[in-house]
Chain A
Amino acid sequence: MIIELGHFALVLAFALSVVSAIVGFTFRGSSAQVTLFLRHAALLQFLLVGAAFAALVQAFVVSDFSLALAYQHSHSLQPLLYKVTSVWGNHEGSMLLWVLILVLFGAAVAAFGRPLPFDLLALVLAMQGLMVAAFAGFTLFTSNPFMRMVPAPFEGEDLNPVLQDIGLAIHPPLLYMGYVGFSICFSFAIAALISGRIDAAWARWVRPWTLISWTFLTLGIAMGSYWAYYELGWGGWWFWDPVENASFMPWLAGTALLHSAIVMEKRNALKIWTVFLAIITFSLSLLGTFLVRSGILTSVHTFASDPTRGMVILTMLGLFIGGAFTLFAMRANALRAGGLFHPLSREGALVLNNLFLATATGAVLVGTLYPLVLDALTGQAISVGAPFFDLTFSALMVPLLILLPFGPFLAWKRGDLVGIVQRLAGAAALALFCAILVAALSGASISLAPLGLLLGFWVMFGAIAELVEKARFGRLPIGQSFRRLFGLPRTAYSTTLAHFGMGVTVIGIVAASAWEMERVVAMNPGDTQTLAGYTIGFEGLTEEPGPNFAAEHGTFAITAPGGGTRQAIAERRVYVASGQPTTEAAIETYGFSQVYIQLGEVAANGSHVVRLWYKPYVTLIWLGCVLMALAGFISLSYRRMRVAAPTPSRRKTVPAE
């Protein structure tokens, strides 16, 4: 009965969202009571979908196989954690998780939105209601997680072994928080277009939602990348897989949105562009979640799809995205353009940042969709792989990263480039020194790697230089400088930290790509190999039964160049219910570098194919992302409203009062 009550709760939430959308758009400006109704309806939707989700989790936990979804995707022998995560390790359950997060954000707007003008709030909540209605409706009518089975089977078919990992507990919820959070920005953008009103207060409301979504999306993508790295078994951390691209595009667009929202909040400029970006970002989020479920793309992330479901998804995407752009085209002229600024100013730098990020988004979009379009039109199958993305994407990112440290130094409205170059010279020299030092220590031959390192260090030190400059170190007495440093607003620290994190990630990417070492060998117990100074001995094989799988453990002893031996266990598993094999790599971290061992197939003579990697500084890739996300949280915790003072022009300013 609990399952059916959960089912009913979902239906009730759907009904509330339908009514909310209708009432909200029809009576939006006419009554404060309608807005109150919409707010409470949003809160109730969250409670109801939460109850539905809890009912589903409960059915998985007690292995109630009269629930078809539990039968198809779980097993009674799974550990409790994986029984819970199995709920969203499939299409239907993950749709419900998506809807749950959507109503969570809707409820958050309803709860925190009291100070908003009520007609604006009504429009935002009506738009959220429309989305909940569409996606909860899609869930209920085409992918219902509450389908039952009569008679109930006695054992489930188990979850895909690759997904039976802690990563499934973390990656999808974080990613969905990011994707869905942008729906709020989208709703605000639509509300601004319909009401024809947009001002700095609007930007003030949009920025925290952008920040939250961007932060979670950053964490979600980084976690997904690390999960792929350790689970898929060959230590790749980014594959330009269509679905990865699909999550990366909203990130790029969201990063642009984050920066343009700053300009809008502080300087009341770039308004129409910000609205446009908000629409683009959420459209790309929708594309990210749903393109993969439409059956058009295939990848690691593809769930079983059927054609009708695909058509419904495409129609919905078309309506939301197409509708938003049509509205934009019709109404953008009605919005008042914002303040003016000199091209060489903080605003100008942020426009440049937006330009590069938007172009990079476009490049990734083309690379992802072009093969599909070509296939659909001409039937010719081509694959656009890593070389295309590496080339086009880095061609766009390198200039962006070179310019990055200049941005925060420029003053609002008009800036002074010569002065900034002087002030950044120190950071540049330090970056050059570090790049040469690290390249020399690594003993690398002539390649592009040192230039990549230079870029990474330049971004890192440029970020720190900004703090040094703001505190006026060297120009004020040291004690006073420190007082200035601690007096800086938290947003200054978060800017520095985020840019610093970007540099860290760049260094990780460069080092891991340029200096990775790999060896494939056939090993018998007792054999020893050396790789990059590490001695890796294969000690033996043991059979270890797991809860719902049988595993073969290969024990390895890794001796570091500096001495000290560690034991590492690489596994091969075969899952009972599905008979599917997986490998679990042995990963040992030394400083920022990792030794990665994968126990492969048994060769004809009984030895094992073992793949060994040495990945220098690879953890910096994710560490940098964590720093960026941390910066997001710091900035979120700072809710004061600081005005960016313009630099007055040389002629005497006349006070307006």
Chain B
Amino acid sequence: MVFWTLAIAMTVCASAALYYASARRTVNASSAASAAPAMTAHLRLQLAEIEADLKAGRLDEAQAVAARAELAREVLRVEAESAPAVSLKGGRSVVALSSLGAAVLAFAVYAGVGQPNLPAQPLAQRPTLPAQMTMDEAVARIEAELERNPQDVRGWRAVAPAYMQMGRAPDAARAFRRILELAPVTADAEIDLAEALMVAQNGSFAGEPLELLTSAATRDPTNTRALYYLAGEATTAGRFAEAAERWQTLIDSAQGSENWLPAARQGLEAAITARDGMGADAGAVQQRVADLAARLETSGGTVAEWAQLVRSYLVLNDRSAAITAYQQAMLDHPDAGERIELDRLAADSGLLSAETRP
């Protein structure tokens, strides 16, 4: 009620101010009906300036005469085209209707978008949290609530991670499955369920979890959790080429400070070593590295490609080549912001002691 009183008062003040300020009878000098007076006033100002400049010696006589002549031509033109006076009738009713219209429109719109009954809740004036409830008690309360209303997605969303934290993976899987049924399917929701099922299956992704992960990765190809789990799954399953590719995609998508990055790097290295050790002999590996180096040297490449080259040299135990490659990479990518991944690799493998900017 207080709110509506204030809102109405605000509107009435605004409309009344508008009406009374605008509907006055006085027509002052500013309301001249055409541009001519304003324009001649402007030209008169300019004329005064010319005289002042002439007196101060900023203009000589010839220049002043030329400037005055220009002004005079302008005055003649303005006087010739000055518009006829316009009628001033009907203004009051337009103003009155407009003031009223604005007020009506305001209430109509606010009724649509506002929430007038919601009180303010500044943090300092709010009751403190219900005194330190234990996790078990909280979960029990939500469970009781869900018993009565199993359609409540928010309840399931609250209880599912709690189950995971408490080590009740099968319960968590049940809850995550319920969320998938009740809410629109998202990649994250699928991964949540896959995670819970994986824990319930003692760490194996076989069967449904893998299907869920693949579906999540198609739904959102940039989802790092899906990429991470799929890369890990490929590694454990022994599909090293696929694994290396997936780890690389994951690392490329990183900002540089994620907590899963070290694990991903180890995964990539393991996958590459395993892949190259299985398939080809050492000669073929060296050939591939040389090809890459030649390409990068002549036409440059991405930071990730340079990092791959440096990493390959390190695996081949050729430190000086790795340092040279790192220096070339720095020339190719002078912006340190792009290079975080590469600098990190160099620091980890002790390449930084060398002079870095050749």
Instruction: Write the residues of chain A forming the contact surface with B, with a CB cutoff of 8 angstroms.
Output: 1-5, 7-9, 11-12, 14-16, 18-20, 23, 27, 29-37, 40-41, 44, 48, 59, 62-66, 76, 114-120, 140-141, 144, 146, 148, 150, 152, 154, 197, 199-201, 204, 232-236, 268, 339, 487, 517-522, 581, 600-601, 603-605, 607, 609, 611, 640-648, 653-657
Contact = CB atoms under 8 A, between A and B. Distances in A.
Interface string B43-74: 00110011001001011001111111111111
Given A18-B105, A520-B336, A29 B86 contact: yes
Contacts of A640: 49
A30 B99 CA distance: 18
B166 interface: no
A7 B114 contact: yes
- Chain B binding surface, main DSSP class: helix
B91 A5 contact: no
A541 to B, nearest CB: 16
B118 A150 contact: yes
A19 B86 contact: no
Contacts of A655: 65, 68-69
Contact of B122 (A35, A63, A600, A657): A63
B343 interface: yes
11 contacts: A12-B14, A16-B18, A30-B86, A36-B95, A64-B121, A65-B121, A114-B30, A200-B74, A520-B330, A643-B67, A646-B70
Interface in B85-102: 86-92, 94-95, 98-99, 101-102
B120 interface: yes
B102 A16 contact: yes
Contacts of B343: 520, 600, 609, 611
Contacts of B38: 115-117, 201
Given A27-B94, A201-B39, A645-B53, A76 B78 contact: no
Given A8-B7, A64-B122, 19 more contacts: A8-B114, A15-B105, A30-B90, A31-B89, A32-B31, A33-B94, A34-B22, A36-B22, A41-B98, A64-B120, A141-B113, A520-B352, A521-B356, A522-B347, A522-B353, A601-B347, A642-B49, A648-B65, A653-B62
A128 B58 CA distance: 40
Nearest to A518: B357
Nearest to A199: B39
B256 interface: yes
Contact of B101 (A19, A40, A141): A19
Contact of A117 (B7, B34, B350): B34
A16 B14 contact: yes
B93 to A, nearest CB: 10
B278 interface: no
B10 A66 contact: no
B18 A40 contact: yes
A120 B3 contact: no
Interface string B29-41: 0111111011101
A603 B344 contact: yes
A15 B3 contact: no
A118 B90 CA distance: 16
Contacts of B344: 600-601, 603, 609
B335 interface: yes
A66 B118 contact: yes
Nearest to A197: B35
B123 A41 contact: no
A4 B122 contact: no
Contacts of B133: none
Contacts of A37: 18, 22, 94-95, 98-99
A168 to B, nearest CB: 20
A520 B346 contact: yes
B7 A5 contact: yes
B135 interface: no
B10 A9 contact: yes
B109 A15 contact: yes
Contacts of A115: 30, 38, 41
Contacts of A235: 336
A30 B49 CA distance: 35
A152 B120 CA distance: 10
B68 A657 contact: yes
A36 B102 CA distance: 16
A140 B109 contact: yes
B66 A646 contact: yes
A9 B109 CA distance: 11
A339 B17 CA distance: 45
A233 B118 CA distance: 43
B11 A12 contact: yes
B348 A234 contact: no
A109 B340 CA distance: 50
Contact of A11 (B2, B66, B106, B256): B106
Contacts of B42: 200-201, 204, 641
- List 5 A-B pairs, minimum CB-CB distance, nearest first: A33-B91, A31-B91, A32-B31, A62-B122, A603-B347
B121 A66 contact: yes
A301 to B, nearest CB: 16
Interface centre among B17, B103, B113, B340 (most CB of A within 10 A): B113
B280 interface: no
B46 A643 contact: yes
B206 to A, nearest CB: 32
Contact of A520 (B67, B73, B106, B356): B356
A200 B297 CA distance: 61
B119 interface: yes
Nearest to A66: B121
Nearest to A640: B49
Contacts of B72: 656-657
B131 interface: no
Contacts of A657: 68-69, 72
Given A4-B3, A609-B343, A33 B22 contact: yes
B49 A641 contact: yes
Given A487-B56, A519-B356, A645 B66 contact: yes
Contact of B74 (A27, A65, A268): A268
B148 interface: no
A641 B46 contact: yes
A148 B118 contact: yes
B21 A36 contact: yes
